Amino acid sequence: MRYQAWLGWLVLVMILCAAACSRAADRPRRHGEADSPDGNEARAKRGDDAKSPDASPDAADDDARFVHKTDREWRKILSSRQYRVTREKATEEPGTGKYCHTKDPGVYHCVCCGAALFDSKAKFESGTGWPSFWKPADKKHVNTALDLSAPELRVEVTCARCDAHLGHVFDDGPPPTGLRFCINSAALDLVAEGQQPRIGRKAVAPRTKAKKQHGKK
């Protein structure tokens, strides 16, 4: 059983590494790269600085849109719970997140930068106490990395645009991917069609439904 568990983790890591390698050439700019002349020259040669007219406004692989803020700025924008989860890599208690059992349609966006992360169509009830998805909205919008902070080997999931900690991904999900993205509600903002993403504390309050316009008799 121990061998099978490690084999499962090895397969998961190989899948995630392959996905990471496929987008390595156009990954988001990391901290400090903006000040590197060599990095700027390399991006200029690749044409990364040229904006495509078809580019999505929330494309996390757009170098120019990578979000970097100081710790003080994050504390000012985020609620204490959002900050602990997204910047300090804390984990919500199971069953306490507001999106744990939500079935409303929409797209889940990053509460730190507004990037589109997960579609409600990929959400499923995992019975774990955390919102679970079998795939991201776009694989370029999330990053994965080995998490060795606990005795159990895990794979961390972060926002590709702002490095916000989202949760972890496991290999016990449903078909067709077999993956379970186990995500903290505090890192998310559910955005329905026609709505705009909310950043930080603004995402804590429930959304108000638009009032219906009645025509004059």
The per-residue pLDDT for 136 is: 98
Q: Counting Cβ atoms within 10 Å, is residue 86 exposed (0-12), middle (13-18) or buried (19+)? A: buried
The single-letter code of the amino acid at 155 is: V
Residue 137 phi, psi (nearest 5): -60, -35
- What does the domain layout of the chain look like in residue ranges? 67-204
Which is the catalytic residue, given 110, 112, 162, 182? 182
Please confirm, yes or no, whether 182 is among the known catalytic residues.
Answer: yes
User: 50-105 pLDDT, tens per residue?
Assistant: 333 333 344 444 444 889 999 999 999 999 999 999 999 999 999 999 999 999 99
Share of the chain above pLDDT 90, in %: 60
Q: How far apart are CA 123 and CA 97, in angstroms?
A: 14
Stronger pLDDT, 22 or 50, i.e. the higher one = 22
Stronger pLDDT, 202 or 28, i.e. the higher one = 202
Indicate the range of 58-62, 104-108, 151-155, 195-199 predicted with least confidence.
58-62
CATH for 67-204 is: 2.170.150.20
Q: How far apart are CA 129 and CA 95, in angstroms?
A: 4
Q: How far apart are CA 167 and CA 186, in angstroms?
A: 10
Q: Reply yes or no on whether the pLDDT at 205 is more than 90.
A: no
